[in-house]
Amino acid sequence: MLLLMGPTASGKTALAVELALRFGAEIVSADSRQVYRGMAVGTAQPDAAQLRAVRHHLVGFLEPEQRYSAARFVRDAAAALDQAAARGRRAIVTGGTGFYLRALSGEMTLAGVSADELLRARLREESRIHSQATLHAWLAALDPRRATAIASGDRYRTLRALEVVLARGGTPPPALPTLVSRGTRMLKFALMLDRAELSRRIRARTQAMIERGLLDEAQALEERDAPAADAVGYPQASAYLRGLCTRAELEETLARATRRYAKRQMTWLRGEPALRWVVSGAGAFSEIERWARESLGWT
């Protein structure tokens, strides 16, 4: 399958739709905020025409009050990929949450269980009483494989690993259904463009979001006190709604926050293994299409 990455406003969604139409594929979103309902504008979800043209998965299916995790994303994405395959369709995974994409590919290890606040509090107390050596030995007794992968002095990772294994009654967690574990061949691409062009696109996008209903979405989220409201765009919109800034200041702060987010995405992508960079624009489709034909045998 194809994995298409890139910073926000780089053109991933439109290109993914174009490629999906060309190759008879379905699209699986890898975006930690596009999963939520009522946030279509602020999270730049595919528009109505794009959703009609290509079947999309993991877009707008959770309420903003619900929490989502990388481990759940891997399971949900694997299920979506299986559904596409059952229909005889290929798949393109695209999104800007690099952590999700790397977890799905299998190039990083996830715990695979949700947080247990009572257990976490217990382990914080244990860490105050016992030394790091004792905590690491405890982990080694419960999950030797995981303990071997964690440095003996790494208290944070030791506690998290203990939380995972204890949450399962002392049994190590099962492996997640990653692309590597499933033997899936994949090509990974990232869209790039120069800083000035990215900045121009971000400013245009932020203005369009405000005009298309970002403020209405932010107002609704404030009334619901949703954890998802910390996504870029909503805190800035909320500040405007409370009278803390002008419209011009809203546009500026929103564009600045989005640029910073794009910078963090690019930093993550630079560490992504086996990634092919493609210049965003008219030639990106042809280049990725050629790679898909030659490396994956897509026709």
- Give the model confidence (pLDDT) of 41-99 as tens digits: 999 999 999 999 999 999 999 999 998 888 899 999 999 999 999 999 999 999 999 98
Is the pLDDT at 105 greater than 80, yes or no?
A: yes
Does the domain spanning 2-109+178-193+262-296 belong to CATH 3.10.20.30? no
pLDDT given for residue 71 in this prediction:
85
With cut-offs at 50, 70 and 90, classify the pLDDT of residue 124.
Answer: confident
What are the residue boundaries of the structural domains of the chain, listed by start?
2-109+178-193+262-296, 117-167
pTM, two decimals, is 0.80
What are the contacts of 208-215 at 24+ separation with CB within 8 A?
209/41, 209/42, 209/44, 209/233, 209/254, 210/237, 210/247, 210/250, 210/251, 210/254, 212/41, 213/41, 214/41, 214/42, 215/240, 215/241
Mean pLDDT of the chain: 91
- Give the model confidence (pLDDT) of 228-276 as tens digits: 888 999 999 999 999 999 999 999 999 999 999 999 999 999 989 899 9
